[in-house]
Chains A and B, each alone.
Chain A
Amino acid sequence: MTAWLLRRLAASVAIVFAVLTLTFVLIHLAPGTPFLPSTDDRSVGPEIIARLRRQYGLDRPLPVQYLKYIGSVAHGEFGESFSQHRPVAQALADAVPNTVLLGIAALVIEFTLGIALGAYQAARARRRVDAALSHLTLFFYSVPTFWLGLALLLVFGQWLRWLPVGGVSDPIVHDTLPWAGRVFDTLRHLVLPACTLGLVGAAGTARYQRAAMLEVIHQDYIRTARAKGLSERRVLLRHALRNAVLPVITLLGLSLPFLLTGAVLVETVFSWPGMGKLAADAIFSRDYPVVTAAAILAAAMVALSSVVADLLTALADPRVRLGDGDAA
């Protein structure tokens, strides 16, 4: 178990390391000297560029730069943000909690709603409700995340005015509110972005869950459970669902990349100051240190989440024993 965990973590570190290398290569393949601020500016003379190059160590040989780069990343230093004039680490430290909050809320919606819908559909398989829900999930699975965000924003934020249209909190009154009021204010701001992200994910999960559930429902042990005199509810919710959820847990680990991708868009639509918006904004301001730092962090999160998903699967499925035969 411990050995397995160590091995998996080592693999994750290796993956992050590879991503680091990749970003380094990309940066140096790129035209110009992107890691220097304001070199696009025509007015900057060559001698200033040379000085900046020296200052940022860009005149050293590539292997030295590479080692230095790895070393500083290992210390959590991603350099200085050009646009925000502060260390990238600080900007990330402000943004990551917001993304984590949004991500967790979206994951909760994605999996509770997705599993419930899929299980319900499987129980009513090939009836009219199932067909209707299948079309609905197919729609949400196919619609662009940011477009759904805009549509929700238009309906609930602009027309109905039930919910705020963006941001993480009310800029004027938030700080004057008592503790509970501040939490409520944040939750109100969270509803639309989390629903946007969660609904798209839930549609995918529901499609997957329905298929998994349908496969389980035809297993012999479901018949055994019925023969025991259990209620249909107990058969489905206890015996079938528990088995059908197992593959979905693996999906949880795989869904994180999509969630982060979605976060870039949803955070942009709702001006949610998280990692995704930080990265997207950084692109427009040509703030390369921030972009690369966000990519590395995202890769690390994905690698870690797949370890967590494997752990969860092992917890939920007594047949899976960590440590043997997980080479793949």
Chain B
Amino acid sequence: MLRTWVSLAVLVAGSTGGAFALRRRCERTGRGRRFFRHPTATTGVAVLTFFVLVAVCAPLVAPYDPSAQPDPVGLQNRPPSWLHPFGTDLYSHDVLSRVVYGAQVSLGVGTLAMLVALTLGAVVGAIAGYTGRWIDAVLMRLVDVGIAVPRMFLLLMAVALWSRLPLGTLIVLIGVTGWFGTSRLVRAEVLSLRERPFVDAARALGARSGRVIFGHVLPNAAAPLIVSAALGIGHVMLLEAALSFLGIGVRPPVASWGNMIADGRDLLTIAPWISLVPGLGIAAVVMSLNAVGDALRDALDPREEAT
């Protein structure tokens, strides 16, 4: 237990200190100063760093094994105490340990699924924007369809049809249903970049299309991609939580914040902490991601330069 408290204190101090050190450095060197000018940027970075560190150091932070059921009869639904800071759940799991390990799953799923979506969106958007003509038309109609179907229904259908999904497949599925917006963004960016002199120059030097797209055009479209990635992780985390809540996302005994909320759902009146704590965890991480995303957008928006 002492180990938990000490490591938590160290992580809080480390992430806060790190965020402020980063800000000071940015203010000194001038790079990224506009990012930190955003009122919530520093807090966002600190909170995110904290949760990432918690996820990475989970074995160190968690006081117990997350799936251990030390006393399924006597230790059910206990309120928070010194030994169980966030209480215990129906199966006498320690909620803190599950939240800590759940951070690994929730953050991991969010990041990986976003990467899948981002890659797909960037590739499709770049191809559509760069080649134009019928390829563009076909791809963009496909995107229209993708945007028209509520992602949740698509996932529900897929998950329901295949029943027991391994975690990896779930990540890919979330990614595959989430790239439509990104591809529109990238396509628009590529369209506006395509006619710029440096692209012509690359083409004139004999670079092949693929090289022009990935070597010259995409890096220049990075700014909106970074922003949409930051916001996208939060989005995916909410989606994962929703799916797990419905019982078709991450399956117990693996803990994710979403299925923890689901676990506590029927015990709301007698043991609200079971649902409350992971819910606050999601809210904190997604809030920070949105704050960081907002700050990134402001910092990367060239229009802001004037003010």
Binding site for B on A (CB under 8 A): 11, 14-16, 18-19, 22-23, 26-27, 29-31, 34, 131, 134-135, 138-139, 141-147, 150-151, 153-154, 158, 257-258, 260-261, 264-265, 268-269, 279-280, 282-284, 286, 288, 291-292, 294-295, 298-299, 302-303, 306
The residue on B at minimum CB distance from A141 is B290
Does B148 sit at the interface, judged by CB under 8 A? yes
Cβ–Cβ < 8 Å partners of A135 in chain B: 40
- A29 to B282 Cα, complex, angstroms: 34
| Contact assessment for B279 and A265 in the assembled complex, using a CB-CB cutoff below 8 Å | no
Size bracket, chain B contacts: 35 or more
| Contact assessment for B283 and A139 in the assembled complex, using a CB-CB cutoff below 8 Å | yes
Main secondary structure of the interface of B (DSSP, over half): helix
| Contact assessment for B242 and A265 in the assembled complex, using a CB-CB cutoff below 8 Å | yes
Give residues 151-201 of B contacting A (CB, 8 Å).
151-154, 156-163
Cβ–Cβ < 8 Å partners of B10 in chain A: none
Closest CB in chain B relative to A140 CB, distance in Å: 9
* A15, A142, A302, A306 interface centre (most CB from chain B within 10 Å): A142
Given contacts A147-B282, A154-B269, A260-B152, contact A282 B160 (CB under 8 A): yes
The residue on B at minimum CB distance from A280 is B246
- A34 to B279 Cα, complex, angstroms: 34
The residue on B at minimum CB distance from A269 is B265
| Contact assessment for A147 and B261 in the assembled complex, using a CB-CB cutoff below 8 Å | yes
- A146 to B239 Cα, complex, angstroms: 11
Q: Which residue from B147, B258, B291 sits with its C-beta under 8 Å from A138?
A: B291
Name 6 A/B residue pairs within 8 A (Cβ), A-sorted. Answer: A19-B149, A143-B282, A144-B238, A146-B241, A284-B247, A303-B148
| Contact assessment for B238 and A295 in the assembled complex, using a CB-CB cutoff below 8 Å | no
| Contact assessment for A19 and B279 in the assembled complex, using a CB-CB cutoff below 8 Å | no
The residue on A at minimum CB distance from B284 is A142
Give residues 92-106 of B contacting A (CB, 8 Å).
none
Q: Can you name 6 extra interface pairs (CB under 8 A) apart from A19-B145, A145-B238?
A: A138-B40, A142-B282, A158-B268, A295-B154, A299-B149, A299-B153
| Contact assessment for A15 and B145 in the assembled complex, using a CB-CB cutoff below 8 Å | yes
Closest CB in chain A relative to B136 CB, distance in Å: 12
* A141, A147, A295 interface centre (most CB from chain B within 10 Å): A147
| Contact assessment for A299 and B156 in the assembled complex, using a CB-CB cutoff below 8 Å | no
Cβ–Cβ < 8 Å partners of A261 in chain B: 150-153, 242
Closest CB in chain B relative to A235 CB, distance in Å: 22
The residue on A at minimum CB distance from B276 is A151
Cβ–Cβ < 8 Å partners of A299 in chain B: 148-150, 153
Does B144 sit at the interface, judged by CB under 8 A? yes
| Contact assessment for B145 and A18 in the assembled complex, using a CB-CB cutoff below 8 Å | yes
Closest CB in chain A relative to B140 CB, distance in Å: 9
Q: Which residue from A29, A154, A280 sits with its C-beta under 8 Å from B156?
A: A280
Q: Which residue from B145, B161, B275, B282 sits with its C-beta under 8 Å from A22?
A: B145
The residue on B at minimum CB distance from A17 is B145
Closest CB in chain B relative to A149 CB, distance in Å: 10
Does B248 sit at the interface, judged by CB under 8 A? yes
| Contact assessment for A142 and B234 in the assembled complex, using a CB-CB cutoff below 8 Å | yes
Q: Which residue from A138, A257, A265 sits with its C-beta under 8 Å from B246?
A: A265
Q: Which residue from B141, B247, B261, B268 sits with its C-beta under 8 Å from A144?
A: B261
Does B57 sit at the interface, judged by CB under 8 A? no
Cβ–Cβ < 8 Å partners of B265 in chain A: 150, 269
The residue on A at minimum CB distance from B278 is A147
Cβ–Cβ < 8 Å partners of B287 in chain A: 138-139, 141-142
The residue on B at minimum CB distance from A35 is B161
Give residues 266-288 of B contacting A (CB, 8 Å).
268-269, 272, 275-276, 279, 282-283, 286-287
Cβ–Cβ < 8 Å partners of B148 in chain A: 15-16, 19, 257, 299, 302-303, 306
| Contact assessment for A142 and B157 in the assembled complex, using a CB-CB cutoff below 8 Å | no
The residue on B at minimum CB distance from A258 is B150
Does B245 sit at the interface, judged by CB under 8 A? yes
Cβ–Cβ < 8 Å partners of A264 in chain B: 152-153, 156, 242, 246
| Contact assessment for B153 and A279 in the assembled complex, using a CB-CB cutoff below 8 Å | yes
Closest CB in chain B relative to A244 CB, distance in Å: 18
Cβ–Cβ < 8 Å partners of B161 in chain A: 26-27, 29-30, 34, 288, 291
- A203 to B208 Cα, complex, angstroms: 46
